[in-house]
Structure 1
Amino acid sequence: METLVKTLKASCCKVTPQRLAVYNTLKLSKDHPNAEAIFKLLEPAYPSISLATIYKSLELFSELNLIQVINVGENSFRYDPNPYPHPHIICTTCNKVEDLSDEYFKDLANTVEEISNYKISKQQLCFYGQCPSCTAKNPS
């Protein structure tokens, strides 16, 4: 939370209880929630919080490089409290998003720069498939 407060103040942004709650909820989450899931978790403790506040907070956190936005397809966004580039695996059945270890992909951006002559400024690597739970329910 200290990093959030410092970053908000340094960017001349208000430090509000709602922003702190959104960030804390995301930080405590391991399942890369969407804005609606964060809203449902916060609504009991913050009955006046709106979904728009959640979206605006998440957008601000992304702009300040405090979180990572993951587009899981068809304009469906999930949020990752780890802002550093790392790969994800996404279930195409239940939309679960999980982190993958970066050890196999850590030099990927450098390799892409070398073969393309592009200067890479950002990367997002996602793999898609069916998670073990969904495969067990639908073994086809």
Structure 2
Amino acid sequence: MEGESINHVLLTCPAACLVWAQSNFPFPRRGSKNMTLFENFNYLLFLPRYLKVPDEIGRMFPWILWTIWKNKNLFLFEGKEFAVEDTMAKVIEDSSHWFEAQKCRDEEDEAGNRELRARDKWEGQAQAF
């Protein structure tokens, strides 16, 4: 609709509310409808620091936002609709892939750092002679 806000599309429209409810992401007691976009994003960013939210739930909000945005555009431009369950399955899959990739990258970085430390140690010993 003309005049729809980003806050509405991502957080307060009925379709978005269904996705957020399915995600088990805890929302403020007063809800997100009476909050500004800034307040809602602040809540999303800082919630995991203040509440004991399982990592797999607390860290998936960017994928929820992105998938809602993509689904909205697919609906507007191509007439495609998505079931909430399919949307959440995609969110879970995408966020899991991302964090697995980051874990692999971190492991590769650590292996590279060990290699550099070993080489530096070896070169330091060789220079001593």
TM-score class, shorter: under 0.3
Greater percentage in strand: 1
Greater percentage in helix: 2
> Comparing both chains, which one has the higher relative contact order based on Cα–Cα distances under 8 Å and sequence gaps of 6 or more?
2
| TM-score (structure 2 length as normaliser) | 0.28
